[in-house]
Structure 1
Amino acid sequence: MGTSKFNQILLLFFHLHLLQISCSVFVHSKKQSNLSPTIMFELKSQQIPSGSIRRPTSKLPFHHNVSLTVSLLAGTPPQRVTMVLDTGSELSWLHCKKTPNVNSLFNPLHSTSYSQIPCSSPVCQTRTRDFTIPASCDPNKLCHVLVSYADASSMEGTLAMDNFQMGGSSIPGTFFGCMDQGFSSSESDSMTTGLLGMNRGSLSFVTQMNYPKFSYCISGRDASGVLLFGEVNFAWLKPRSYTPMVKITSHLPYYDRVAYSVQFEGIKVGGKILSLPKSILQPDHTGAGQTMVDSGTQFTFLLGPVYTALKNEYLAQTRGKLKELGDPNFVFQGAMDLCYRVPLTQKSYPVLPTVTLMFKDAEMSVSAERLLYRVPGEVRGSDGVHCFTFGNSDLLGVEAYIIGHHHQQNMWMEFDLVQSRVGLAEVRCDLASQRLGLGL
């Protein structure tokens, strides 16, 4: 799905600032033999075994507000860049300065290791096939790439290659988009923030790094977190529940083959399982209805019939506890129409029914403050407007279930690319950062 998604971005230092809140193309495995046993990613790293090659576990802290962002170095000499962490996108990109007097994130003219990819390159011709819009040839015979997102934002430019650095670890020859044109709901985001594509595509950052797995943990308390590449074996971390990734190799019009898709099996509200036909929770013959774990989207979106069933049950179970907004014309972010009035003087919510998303062999429970979100700037008399943090995909024109990062807070999220599974474990992410020595 991607960036700027529904006006949200993620940062890799886990500086969470949604690009509207999730790193290249490697044809072969990169054996980084020049690395020391321990690699420092902003703070520190821990070496762990991975197959026959000992790969370091790399840790990066991050912060978030609407998106998750991380801080990297790009080019030679290195330029510091901020990128949104997006498990729903493939191509990483930076806003590039190619003309004078233009603000940008990255200046390729100042990098001696920067190179542009010609449209005749096999990378341009074959490795962009999973893009929503395949690459083309620009007037200069360079590989032209364009990425677009569900909130109607888009970026376009040239496929390029340069060196990236993460905590002292050099990642040479990484493919990314050097973007110089685009439309964003927030121009400041497009100029000052890039995107770190982290899905399973051949040009994604994690694929190019050739790490077998990565994990992240988002704190709901202090807008911080950690992104970690490599194995995770910490005594304080609860055992993960693993749900297998769903893979469909056929080209279907509404199916993203390189997304982190999981099998959605149902929803519980306050312990009550909603009556939903299994067929509506699975992709149909067009690919519509897949369930994607997406750090590039803030909230969670469900297909219309499932959203309606959840909304009605939540209304029934909160009647008398919460006061409905009563404004049928107010829809937050164009897809979230269940909103409440909460007194500005009220410091906490009443006890609310937990909403549990059920996947094959794993569950994700959403409770307390993660169930409601105060809409900035919206006041009705002496009340603030707080909206239910689930939305209707149909209103966005998206044919999929999207599990956003807001509901991944205080969950250890592990993406195992070798065994093709997603691991979940409840954890206090602020304490996890401290235990990993990030000091956030």
Structure 2
Amino acid sequence: MAILGHRSRLLHLTFLFLATIFNSNCSLSLSSPTPNQQLLLLPLKTQHVPHPSSSLPRTRASAAAGGSKLPFRHNVTLTVSLSIGTPPQPATMVLDTGSELSWLRCSSPTSQQPVFRPLASKSYSTVPCSSPTCAERTRDLPLPASCDASKRCHVVVSYADASSAEGTLVSDTLLIGPSARPGFLFGCMDSGQSSSPEEDAKTTGLMGMNRGSLSLVTQMGVGMFSYCISGLDSSGVLLFGDAGFDWVGPLNYTPLVQISTPLPYFDRVAYTVQMEGIKVSGKVLPLPKSVFEPDHTGAGQTMVDSGTQFTFLLGPVYTALKNEFSGQTRGTLRVLNDPNFVFQGAMDLCYLVPSARPELPELPEVRLVFRGAEMSVPGRRLLYRVPGERRGSDWVYCFTFGNSDLLGVEAFVIGHHHQQDMWMEFDLERSRVGFAEVRCDLASQRLGLG
């Protein structure tokens, strides 16, 4: 599936691709990378950008976008800065583990939007629609490729917020880290409809990182990658390759869900795990495990996605969590009783916090229970201050779990807000996702990136 495409936010966690091979001057112990794979270490930075109105209407996602997509309306996005072409052209791309096709904007309706200029690259080439590449490498895309008027391989991507992009499948040289990788396949998009002009002015496109045949991970032959996003400052790290850090501690692993039969609402190339329950302050929500399992259509899968900010749960699970959290915080938090305010169209549990004393009280811990592992969401991650939203002298804070049903989306999605201060490892070779709690700001410093 993919969850989102790219859109606007308050912060941009920017992956500055000043990638370097991890060298012997570092004091950390690393396991050896596979013979054909370089170990790439990349720093994370943050930058503030303007935020549009945060009071979004209650709207259903377009059915045509597919049941496994979520709207990409949030305040934080992860972006990667790299170069493509000969000579190299800089590109800033949204990093999305929930999407497959990487794409660049090749034309701009406004001169302010960054674009890739294909005619300026000597290594650029288009993919004919009659080629095996067009027929075979696009098989995992939600919409099949077709022929355009010039017999080129035409591709379309669409997202549940009604944004879309379409253009031609092309290849060019990708410069990532210290080496050039010729023949990188991506979409050169010349038309589309965006829900975020603010972000379009800052990004060139999107980088797909799921397990599909066209994703960056697959094309690079990467067997493992990891990232760590700080919840305290602007630091962080992205790592390609298999590296063992003795200071991270043992990771908790949960297997990726695999299915052999195609189902209409199941994304087989997403990072799908099996959620089995939720705890609030140690209390297990009274829900059968069956509510977390995909049904006969594939609806109800659980995806780990860097392209989504918050976490979204199907209606019955969301309601149970909302009621339990509300009960445990009754008398501690003041509820915002405004039925017309729903943050990001799916987050309807919000609170008032005095702006003069904005510190939050101690809140209960939520634990997401997966097959073989549990992920802790501490109280400080459970409420998010809505940028620019006030009621008199009070700030508006909203619960950081949303209701998938309000979006018309049949999926559970674990967003990157709840992945903060976690070492997140995506192990494709062993078909699993691992995570461990760690101070990501200290991790960056320890790796020499602070």
TM superposition score normalised by structure 1: 0.90
Partner of 1:245: 256
Partner of 2:392: 381
What 5-or-longer segments of structure 1 have no aligned partner? 16-40
Aligned-partner SS, 1:297: coil
Q: Which amino acid aligns with 2:377?
A: V
Q: Residues 258-306 of structure 1: CA distance to partner in whole angstroms, max 9, x if unpaired?
A: 0000010100001101011111101110000100000000000000000
Whether 1:296 aligns to 2:307 is: yes
Q: Which amino acid aligns with 2:352?
A: R
Partner of 1:61: 43
Q: Which one is further off, 414-423 or 178-187?
A: 178-187
Aligned-partner SS, 1:337: coil
Aligned-partner SS, 1:67: strand
Partner of 1:74: 84
Aligned match for 1:49, one of 18, 32, 35: 32
Partner of 1:88: 98
Aligned-partner SS, 1:422: strand
TM-fit CA distance, 1:13? 4.5
Partner of 2:53: none
Q: Which amino acid aligns with 1:435?
A: R
2:108/2:114 contact within 8 Å kept: no
Partner of 1:255: 266
- What does 1:273-352 correspond to in 2, within 5 Å? 273-352=284-363
TM-fit CA distance, 1:9? 10
d(CA) in 2 for partners of 1:175 and 1:2?
Answer: 21
Cα 1:393/1:220, change in 2 over 3 Å: same
d(CA) in 2 for partners of 1:192 and 1:350?
Answer: 36
Aligned-partner SS, 1:317: helix
2:404/2:412 contact within 8 Å kept: yes
2:108/2:115 contact within 8 Å kept: no
Cα 1:102/1:373, change in 2 over 3 Å: closer
Percent identity of paired positions between Structure 1 and Structure 2 = 65
Aligned match for 1:231, one of 237, 242, 261: 242
TM-fit CA distance, 1:63? 3.1
Whether 1:109 aligns to 2:110 is: no
Aligned-partner SS, 1:222: coil
Cα 1:8/1:129, change in 2 over 3 Å: farther
Partner of 1:365: 376
d(CA) in 2 for partners of 1:188 and 1:120?
Answer: 37
Aligned-partner SS, 2:18: coil
Cα 1:89/1:294, change in 2 over 3 Å: same
Aligned-partner SS, 1:414: strand
d(CA) in 1 for partners of 2:341 and 2:415?
Answer: 22
Q: Residues 123-171 of structure 1: CA distance to partner in whole angstroms, max 9, x if unpaired?
A: 2112212211111111111111111112221111111101111122212
TM-fit CA distance, 1:43? 5.3
1:293/1:403 contact within 8 Å kept: yes
Whether 1:127 aligns to 2:137 is: yes
Aligned length: 413
Partner of 1:143: 153
2:278/2:285 contact within 8 Å kept: yes
Whether 1:162 aligns to 2:162 is: no
d(CA) in 1 for partners of 2:328 and 2:107?
Answer: 53
Q: Which amino acid aligns with 1:151?
A: D
d(CA) in 2 for partners of 1:5 and 1:327?
Answer: 29
Partner of 2:56: none
Whether 1:438 aligns to 2:449 is: yes
d(CA) in 2 for partners of 1:12 and 1:384?
Answer: 24
TM-fit CA distance, 1:50? 3.8
Q: Which one is further off, 407-416 or 362-371?
A: 362-371
d(CA) in 1 for partners of 2:336 and 2:300?
Answer: 30
d(CA) in 2 for partners of 1:386 and 1:100?
Answer: 35
d(CA) in 2 for partners of 1:135 and 1:191?
Answer: 28
1:10/1:295 contact within 8 Å kept: no
- Which structure has more relative contact order (CA 8 Å, sep 6+)? It is 2
- What does 1:8-19 correspond to in 2, within 5 Å? 13-14=14-15
TM-fit CA distance, 1:191? 5.0
TM superposition score normalised by structure 2: 0.88
Aligned-partner SS, 1:56: coil
Q: Which one is further off, 131-140 or 399-408?
A: 131-140
Q: Which amino acid aligns with 1:266?
A: G
Q: Which amino acid aligns with 1:132?
A: P
Q: Residues 94-147 of structure 1: CA distance to partner in whole angstroms, max 9, x if unpaired?
A: 111389968433111111101111111112112212211111111111111111
Cα 1:8/1:98, change in 2 over 3 Å: closer
Aligned match for 1:419, one of 430, 434, 439: 430
d(CA) in 1 for partners of 2:267 and 2:96?
Answer: 14
Q: Which amino acid aligns with 1:208?
A: Q
1:87/1:198 contact within 8 Å kept: yes
2:224/2:425 contact within 8 Å kept: yes
Aligned-partner SS, 1:55: coil
Q: Which amino acid aligns with 2:5?
A: S
d(CA) in 2 for partners of 1:433 and 1:219?
Answer: 9
Aligned-partner SS, 2:418: helix
Q: Which one is further off, 184-193 or 326-335?
A: 184-193
Aligned-partner SS, 2:259: coil
What 5-or-longer segments of structure 2 have no aligned partner? 24-30, 47-74
d(CA) in 2 for partners of 1:349 and 1:10?
Answer: 21
d(CA) in 1 for partners of 2:347 and 2:292?
Answer: 20
d(CA) in 2 for partners of 1:59 and 1:82?
Answer: 18
Cα 1:101/1:366, change in 2 over 3 Å: closer
TM-fit CA distance, 1:397? 1.1
1:77/1:111 contact within 8 Å kept: yes
2:211/2:271 contact within 8 Å kept: yes
| CA RMSD, 1 decimal | 2.0
